[in-house]
Amino acid sequence: MIQGGILDFGYPRIGPLVLPGRYWINLKVGDAKYSAEVLLKSDPRQKVEAVTLRRQLSFALEVRDTITEVTRTVHKLRAVRKQLEEHREVFEKEKKALTLVEVSEGLIAKLDQLEGRLHNSEAEISYDILAMKGGAKLYARLDAIFNWVNEADGEPPEGMMKLVATQQGEVLECQKALEALLHNDLPQYNQTAAKLSLPTVYVAK
């Protein structure tokens, strides 16, 4: 989940149900280890074929992984922005670094804009997501779909799968925008900082 991120529906930490079948449960308490085999059966009231449940689970995991991509992208850009903000506070006191201050402000603005595309970064409470201009962003939209898929018993409708595919494209666009900033804009910033013997920004891989 996005640290401090606000959602108006669902809870992505709760994953989809496993398929009916035999499973091993392993428990470790201190140095002691315990194992037991369990048989999970379908709800007898459920009239859904096994192949359909497998497709449902596959789609749910695909949506889950897309949410994870959104989260990782946000945390990556935040790590860069945090360094830029910390450096800016130091650079403002250095006359030789005034140019870097302006550059860092521009980079921070771009990162803020990008984060705003990935989730409702300005939201303070759940209601803000729909009340704010632009409505729910990718994080909230995908999580809502994830919740609906997990609560259903059957294959997701074609419209939902197409919607997720569209949103996956949006996530990829955001990731490409971030990588472009990190590979084009940020190196110039670091080169200037290095020439002035000032701290540079480290990007974790």
Q: How many domains does the chain have?
A: 1
Instruction: Decide: pTM greater than 0.85.
Output: yes
Would 167 be classed as within a structural domain?
yes
pLDDT of residue 26: 97
| Residue whose C-alpha is closest to residue 153's, from 60, 40, 64 | 60
Residue 22 lies in a domain: no
Please indicate, yes or no, if residue 38 is contained in any of the structural domains: no
3-state helix, strand, coil in the chain (%, to 5): 60, 10, 30
Distance CA 135, CA 176 (A): 23
- Report if residue 26 sits inside a domain: no
In the chain, how many H helices and how many E strands? 6, 2
Strand partners, 40: 21
Q: Average pLDDT per run of 10 along the chain, which is 205 residues long?
A: 92 91 96 96 88 94 97 97 91 83 93 96 93 92 95 91 97 97 94 89 87
- Cα Rg of the chain (Å, integer): 22
Residue 16 resides in a domain: no
Q: For residue 84, is it within any domain?
A: yes
Q: Determine the longest span between alpha carbons in the chain, in angstroms.
A: 74
- Residue 118 included in any domain: yes
Helix (H) or strand (E) holding 37, with range, is strand 32-40
- In 3D space, the residue among 10, 4, 37, 7 whose CA is nearest the CA of residue 21 turns out to be 37
| 166 CB burial (10 A radius; 0-12, 13-18, 19+) | exposed
Range of the domain at 64: 49-195
Q: Decide if 120 contacts 129 (C-beta within 8 A).
A: yes
Q: Is residue 127 part of a domain?
A: yes
Strand partners, 35: 26
Q: What gap in Å lies between CA 91 and CA 100, rounded to an integer?
A: 7
